[in-house]
Structure 1
């Protein structure tokens, strides 16, 4: 083979890679949602924490919005919310007027500091 055949091969390769790059730039510009994927250094309000397949057609997805997590079952027949407000305290879910009414209704009850009064137990076995 002559040296000019190698130059043609390299030129054709660079031409094809250039076309792929142009298509990628056009896709980022005109495809909805493609621009916001994987922005580094930006704190996002919504994220997917974990995805676990249950079987071939269903999967559990743990979504995080602000400081609250939601467990959702995704499947072909529909989506089901398994648990909501994971990580949200009880006092964050009700207004302060409702909280004051509960304290008046139940004497000697401290419902604002229930998380601080939790007792730690070591029921789990340590890994061997």
Structure 2
């Protein structure tokens, strides 16, 4: 085997990995019926997380415009507070205060 053969194998490997990556991105963006939903239809978002210790974490989860505070530990998750109304964004806060946006 010479250098040209190794270059061909390497180029083929890069091509296959590129095609796999492109298929993964297309699946995330458009979704595959029965396997994955596109990002635009997701209702659940992680707003913020805070590490309390190496094994404990607080997380604010938003679902349908309502936030929930969870404590996540290795033994499970506990709801600390449910039904939190999210604060207004800076644009909405500026409009309420009478400032131009």
Please give the TM-score of this superposition, normalised by the length of structure 1.
Answer: 0.48
Q: What residue is the counterpart of 1:72 in the other structure?
A: 70
Deviation at 1:86, TM superposition (A): 0.5
1:9 aligns with 2:6: yes
Q: Deviations over 1:99-126 (max 9, x none)?
A: xxxxxxxxxxxxxxxxxxxxxxxxxxxx
Deviation at 1:19, TM superposition (A): 3.4
Distance 1:36 1:15 in 2: 31
Structure-to-structure mapping, 1:38-53, within 5 angstroms? 39=39, 42=40, 44-53=42-51
Distance 1:10 1:79 in 2: 51
Give structure 2 stretches of 5+ with no counterpart: 87-101
SS of residue paired to 2:60: strand
Distance 2:7 2:48 in 1: 44
Give structure 1 stretches of 5+ with no counterpart: 89-128
Q: What residue is the counterpart of 2:96 in the other structure?
A: none
- The aligned length equals 79
User: Relative contact order (alpha carbons < 8 A, sep ≥ 6): 1 or 2 greater?
Assistant: 2
Greater share of residues in strand:
2
SS of residue paired to 1:54: strand
Please give the TM-score of this superposition, normalised by the length of structure 2.
Answer: 0.59
Structure-to-structure mapping, 1:80-99, within 5 angstroms? 80-87=78-85
Distance 1:70 1:10 in 2: 53
Provide the alpha-carbon RMSD of the alignment. 3.2
Q: Deviations over 1:57-101 (max 9, x none)?
A: 11111100111000001101221101110007xxxxxxxxxxxxx
